[in-house]
């Protein structure tokens, strides 16, 4: 302030006839005139001069400002701050340089902005603090300002990160009921292990310590220690800033047992219903989690009747002499509420109507907790989002109204594949595919696959409109044309090289339409009709079992009838719920007369909030009608990802050891060679225990699992026998990638037979189980 006063001190009062600005380089003169409280014709005095200087400094554009008088002309002399030409970071490995530059831009340190040393100093201190949060206590940050031409500067943050400080020792003092090793297992932070390079669990962070202390507190409160408290924590770092020791001092207190539970307040004349929701049981140790679960269950039950603001309070009465505690659950219904408006946020690509049509809670209707949960689950089951949350927001000035805020986080729902190949047999082959589960944000599915390979030529087009009618009836259209030849390099028969044109070829083409009619919130019945034609052109190397279908048209007009029930809480990564699907196919017209049925059952059980036990079972059956055999190209297959892992894809079940030779006569394959035929009966069961990947937190898109698979396929005349089942066990990784669900599994066959084709490591995109 003394400098500001000095800059305008020596001027005598006068009437301003003109104002001139000197020293400007980039700043417009209009910016100066607009900021000054003085105008032409005003009387100048020291107070107005000081105010003018303060206003110009407040712009943050000038390093120095002076006022001078030339007769009755007020001269404003300024020295502009240098402009930042570039912001760079040197030596940063822990943080992404682009993210750091964005953070600097947000605080005003960016290219083209005036340089402010105070901002640069604060940025330097904040960068040091962020390194400390990453356990890099020895990190050094040096800020260099390099002047360049045209009053500009380059700003460089040079960082020497050093090595991260690691937790060397964790001690818990004051524990009596539980061992120190047991309590330390509740901590996410530890002294290091074989996965610490990935999880960084041995790096200290205050936020992590606070979370670990809460986990420790919960552990005691779940086991009756009502008076448990954490007295203090000490964090010590070694002189070389490489080792950290943690000491946690606790007071356990006595263990309390629940003596009784009493309900007081307004329970809508449904006391028995609410009593059945009480998780706290007399005679059991006090458990804070059960108290919280009871409170939530009561609140949720009140919400079913529109009481969104019901207050539920659990009041303990503690008897410290006998170490017993009585609970009184006090409830007040408050007022009944209705939903004024439903707002959707986070859907940058998906249209609002796609989300809104899944809602069963409507605007301007009574608030219903069950309908809101059902609506959330229906939106999640669309499979378009990684996260779906529904929050309530009170309407100011309207105590009986609330708004619902639906927050979604979109995930990639489409994939485009392009491929090209060249070989001496096929010359040039091209492939193209596009799959979009949420085409143009409409919620419709669109798929197209094209392959120009000489040995596997494919054109497939399918689309699904889940709301073909406003009532939710879906329609699926499908058309396909496929040709395939058995090609795996050069094929020799009787020591003769076979030309590709001489191999047998399977040609399949068809189209179908299917409608899905919802009969309830979780049940859908499907009706469909199609036409398909399969032709097998006879040739060399054809399995003998294909001969009855060769050189003629095999036409079928299948009628399909299906049923699906889906009560899973998520289609992306279910933690609870059940999924069932039944599909029957009946072809009574055309050359092929058959019936086929398959049933799938999935059950998801939450072991904890993050760990899920999942079971999948698939049964299939097919039978020829009217004295005709079941078409062999309709057979079921098993083996590999999606069925029994650890065995080669589609390799289980009946095989053919005979083929058609060059002379058209059946011959036997060489020893150890055969063709996979599949079977008319299929039985597969999968068990999985799914958990978040270490270090991924609650990210549901990246998880690992252990599994056990059992199953096989059987021929038309073969009985289904338990001793013919194959089994495997192993571990795997699941990732919801931009290309779709990705599964990587390592399996060890634990029940196999001689001749089985094994494949322990398998990889697949586009399937769950």
CA 226 vs CA 193, 254, 278, 290, 322: distances in Å: 33, 7, 19, 13, 13
Q: What's the confidence (pLDDT) of residue 489? A: 43
Q: Tell me: the pLDDT tens digits for 287-345?
A: 999 999 999 999 999 999 999 889 999 999 999 999 999 999 999 988 889 999 999 99
Predicted confidence (pLDDT) at residue 283 exceeds the cutoff of 80 = yes
Question: Whose structure tokens read 């410290």?
Answer: 320
End-to-end CA distance of the chain: 73
Q: Which residue has the higher pLDDT, 540 or 545?
A: 545
User: What is the Cα–Cα distance from 594 to 556, expressed in whole angstroms?
Assistant: 9
Q: Work out the burial of residue 721: count CB atoms within 10 Å of its CB; fewer than 13 is exposed, 13-18 middle, 19 or more buried.
A: exposed
Q: Quick check: 299 and 314 in contact, CB under 8 A?
A: no
Q: Quick check: 514 and 463 in contact, CB under 8 A?
A: no
Q: Which range, of 216-220, 246-250, 604-608, 739-743, averages the lowest pLDDT? A: 739-743
Predicted confidence (pLDDT) at residue 93 exceeds the cutoff of 60 = yes
Q: What's the confidence (pLDDT) of residue 765? A: 60
From the list 345, 58, 198, the residue with the least C-alpha distance to 695 is: 198
Question: Whose structure tokens read 């192993």?
Answer: 730
- Give the residues across from 503 on adjacent strands: 540
From the list 578, 728, 529, the residue with the least C-alpha distance to 641 is: 728
User: What is the Cα–Cα distance from 449 to 417, expressed in whole angstroms?
Assistant: 9
User: What is the Cα–Cα distance from 358 to 384, expressed in whole angstroms?
Assistant: 13
User: What is the Cα–Cα distance from 4 to 58, expressed in whole angstroms?
Assistant: 12
Q: Tell me: the pLDDT tens digits for 124-153?
A: 888 888 888 888 888 889 999 999 888 888
3-state DSSP call for residue 258? strand
Q: Tell me: the pLDDT tens digits for 445-470?
A: 999 988 877 667 889 999 999 999 98
**Mean pLDDT calculated for residue range 383-402:** 90
Angle at 427 between CA 422 and CA 428, to 5 degrees: 60
**Mean pLDDT calculated for residue range 581-600:** 93
- At residue 569, what are phi and psi to the nearest 5 degrees? -80, -10
User: What is the Cα–Cα distance from 603 to 600, expressed in whole angstroms?
Assistant: 10
User: What is the Cα–Cα distance from 678 to 684, expressed in whole angstroms?
Assistant: 14
Q: What's the confidence (pLDDT) of residue 488? A: 43
Question: Whose structure tokens read 């301003």?
Answer: 16
Task: Spell 152-168 as b/e; 16+ CB within 10 A means b.
Answer: bbbbebebebeebbbbb
- At residue 47, what are phi and psi to the nearest 5 degrees? -65, -45
SS (H, E, C) 315-360: EEEEECCCCEEEEEEEEECCCCCEEEEEEEECCCCCCHHHHHCCCC
pLDDT range class, residue 626, cuts 50, 70, 90? confident
* Most confident by average pLDDT, 13-27, 309-323, 492-506: 309-323
Task: Give the list of residues 6+ apart from residue 702 with CB closer than 8 angstroms, or none.
Answer: 692, 693, 696, 733, 734, 735, 736
User: What is the Cα–Cα distance from 6 to 67, expressed in whole angstroms?
Assistant: 10
Predicted confidence (pLDDT) at residue 490 exceeds the cutoff of 50 = no
Q: Helical H runs in 202-350? A: 206-221, 271-275, 288-303
Q: What's the token pair of residue 237?
A: 């770092």
Task: Give the list of residues 6+ apart from residue 304 with CB closer than 8 angstroms, or none.
Answer: 368, 369, 370
CA atoms within 13 A on the CB side of 318: 11
From the list 590, 581, 725, 582, the residue with the least C-alpha distance to 647 is: 725
**Percent of the chain with pLDDT strictly greater than 90:** 47
User: What is the Cα–Cα distance from 92 to 142, expressed in whole angstroms?
Assistant: 12
State the chain's mean pLDDT as an integer.
Answer: 87
Q: Quick check: 717 and 622 in contact, CB under 8 A?
A: no
β pairing state of 612-624 and 740-751 = unpaired
User: What is the Cα–Cα distance from 202 to 245, expressed in whole angstroms?
Assistant: 11
User: What is the Cα–Cα distance from 688 to 613, expressed in whole angstroms?
Assistant: 6
Q: Tell me: the pLDDT tens digits for 543-575?
A: 888 888 887 888 999 999 999 998 888 877 888
Q: What's the token pair of residue 489?
A: 């390099």
Q: What's the confidence (pLDDT) of residue 450? A: 87
CA 126 vs CA 103, 114, 144: distances in Å: 11, 20, 16
Neighbours of 674 (CB within 10 A): 19
User: What is the Cα–Cα distance from 406 to 589, expressed in whole angstroms?
Assistant: 50
pLDDT range class, residue 615, cuts 50, 70, 90? very high
pTM of the full structure: 0.66
Question: Whose structure tokens read 């394959």?
Answer: 669
From the list 503, 481, 479, the residue with the least C-alpha distance to 492 is: 503
Q: What's the confidence (pLDDT) of residue 192? A: 83
β pairing state of 726-737 and 702-714 = antiparallel
Q: Quick check: 100 and 89 in contact, CB under 8 A?
A: yes
Q: Work out the burial of residue 308: count CB atoms within 10 Å of its CB; fewer than 13 is exposed, 13-18 middle, 19 or more buried.
A: buried
β pairing state of 553-566 and 577-590 = antiparallel
SS (H, E, C) 525-566: EEEEEEEEEEEEECCECCEHHHHHHECCEEEEEEEEEEEEEE
From the list 603, 615, 573, the residue with the least C-alpha distance to 383 is: 573
Q: Tell me: the pLDDT tens digits for 645-681?
A: 999 888 899 988 888 776 777 888 777 777 888 999 9
Q: What is the DSSP letter of 628?
A: P
Question: Whose structure tokens read 């009871």?
Answer: 294
Predicted confidence (pLDDT) at residue 20 exceeds the cutoff of 50 = yes
- At residue 352, what are phi and psi to the nearest 5 degrees? -55, -40
Angle at 262 between CA 258 and CA 265, to 5 degrees: 145
64 conformational bin, left if phi > 0, alpha if psi -120 to 50, beta if neither: beta
Q: What's the token pair of residue 698?
A: 């609650």
Predicted confidence (pLDDT) at residue 424 exceeds the cutoff of 60 = no
Task: Give the list of residues 6+ apart from residue 85 with CB closer than 8 angstroms, or none.
Answer: 111, 148, 152, 153, 154
- Give the residues across from 429 on adjacent strands: 421
Q: Quick check: 616 and 649 in contact, CB under 8 A?
A: no
Alpha-carbon dihedral sign for residues 230, 236, 241, 242? negative
Q: What is the DSSP letter of 664?
A: S
Q: Quick check: 659 and 544 in contact, CB under 8 A?
A: yes
- Give the residues across from 511 on adjacent strands: 479, 531
């Amino acid at each position: 302030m003394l400098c500001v006063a000095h800059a305008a001190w020596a001027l005598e009062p006068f009437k301003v006839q003109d104002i001139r600005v000197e020293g400007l380089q980039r700043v417009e003169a209009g910016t100066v005139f607009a900021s000054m409280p003085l105008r032409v014709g005003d009387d100048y005095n020291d107070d107005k001069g000081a105010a003018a200087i303060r206003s110009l400094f407040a712009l943050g554009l000038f390093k120095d400002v002076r006022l001078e008088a030339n007769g009755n002309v007020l001269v404003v002399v300024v020295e502009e701050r240098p402009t930042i030409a570039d912001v760079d970071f040197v030596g940063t490995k822990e943080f992404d340089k682009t993210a750091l530059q964005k953070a600097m831009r947000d605080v005003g340190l960016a290219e083209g902005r005036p340089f402010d040393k105070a901002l640069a100093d604060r940025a330097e201190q904040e960068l040091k603090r962020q390194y400390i949060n990453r356990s890099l206590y020895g990190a050094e940050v040096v800020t260099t300002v390099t002047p360049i031409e045209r009053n500009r500067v380059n700003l460089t943050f040079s960082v020497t990160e050093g090595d991260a400080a690691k937790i060397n020792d964790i001690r818990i003092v004051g524990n009596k009921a539980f061992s120190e090793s047991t309590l330390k297992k509740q901590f996410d932070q530890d002294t290091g292990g074989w996965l610490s390079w990935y999880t960084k669990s041995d790096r200290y962070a205050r936020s992590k310590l606070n979370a670990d202390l809460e986990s420790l507190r919960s552990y005691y409160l779940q086991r009756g220690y009502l008076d448990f408290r954490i007295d203090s924590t000490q964090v010590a770092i070694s002189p070389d800033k490489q080792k950290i020791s943690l000491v946690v001092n606790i007071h356990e207190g006595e263990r309390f047992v629940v003596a009784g539970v009493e309900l007081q307040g307004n329970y809508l004349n449904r006391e028995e219903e609410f009593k059945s929701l009480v998780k706290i049981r007399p005679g059991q140790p006090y458990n804070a989690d059960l108290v919280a679960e009871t409170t939530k269950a009561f609140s949720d039950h009140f919400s079913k009747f529109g009481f969104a603001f019901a207050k539920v309070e659990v009041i303990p009465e503690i008897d410290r002499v006998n170490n017993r505690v009585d609970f009184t659950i006090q409830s007040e219904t408050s007022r009944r509420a209705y939903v004024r408006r439903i707002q959707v946020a986070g859907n940058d690509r998906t249209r609002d109507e796609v989300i809104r049509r899944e809602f069963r809670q409507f605007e301007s209707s009574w608030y219903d907790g069950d309908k809101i949960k059902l609506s959330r689950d229906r939106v999640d089951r669309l499979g378009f989002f990684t996260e779906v949350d529904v929050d309530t927001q009170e309407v100011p000035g309207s105590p009986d109204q609330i708004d619902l805020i639906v927050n979604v986080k979109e995930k990639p729902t489409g994939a485009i594949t392009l491929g090209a190949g060249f070989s001496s047999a096929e010359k040039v082959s091209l492939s193209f595919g596009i799959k979009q589960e949420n085409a143009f944000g409409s919620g419709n599915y669109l798929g197209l696959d094209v392959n120009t390979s000489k040995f596997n030529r494919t054109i497939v087009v399918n689309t699904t409109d889940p709301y073909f009618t406003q009532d939710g009836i879906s329609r699926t259209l499908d058309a396909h044309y496929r040709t395939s030849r058995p090609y795996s390099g050069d094929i020799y028969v009787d020591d003769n090289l076979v030309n590709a044109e001489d191999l047998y070829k399977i040609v399949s083409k068809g189209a179908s339409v299917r409608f899905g009619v919802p009969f309830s919130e979780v049940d859908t019945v499907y009706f469909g009709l199609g036409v398909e034609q399969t032709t097998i052109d006879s040739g060399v190397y054809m399995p003998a079992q294909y001969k009855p279908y060769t050189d003629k048209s095999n036409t079928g007009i299948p009628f399909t009838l299906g049923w699906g029930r889906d009560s899973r809480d998520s289609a992306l990564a279910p933690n609870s719920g059940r999924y069932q699907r039944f599909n029957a196919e009946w072809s009574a017209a055309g050359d092929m007369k058959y019936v086929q049925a398959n049933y799938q059952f999935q059950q998801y059980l939450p072991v904890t909030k993050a760990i899920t036990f999942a079971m999948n079972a698939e049964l299939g059956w097919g039978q020829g009608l009217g004295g005709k055999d079941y078409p062999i190209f309709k057979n079921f297959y098993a083996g590999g990802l999606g069925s029994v892992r650890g065995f080669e894809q589609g390799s289980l079940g009946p095989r053919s050891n005979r083929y058609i030779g060059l002379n058209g006569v059946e011959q036997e394959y060489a020893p150890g060679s055969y063709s996979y035929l599949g079977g008319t009966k299929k039985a597969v069961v999968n068990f999985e225990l799914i958990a978040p990947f270490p270090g991924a937190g609650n990210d549901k898109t990246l998880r690992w699992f252990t599994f056990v698979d059992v199953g096989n396929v059987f021929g038309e005349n073969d009985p289904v026998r338990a001793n013919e089942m194959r089994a495997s066990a192993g571990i795997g990784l699941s990732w919801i990638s931009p290309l779709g669900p990705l599964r990587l599994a390592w399996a060890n066959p634990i029940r196999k037979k001689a001749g089985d084709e094994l494949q322990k490591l398998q990889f697949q995109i586009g399937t769950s189980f």
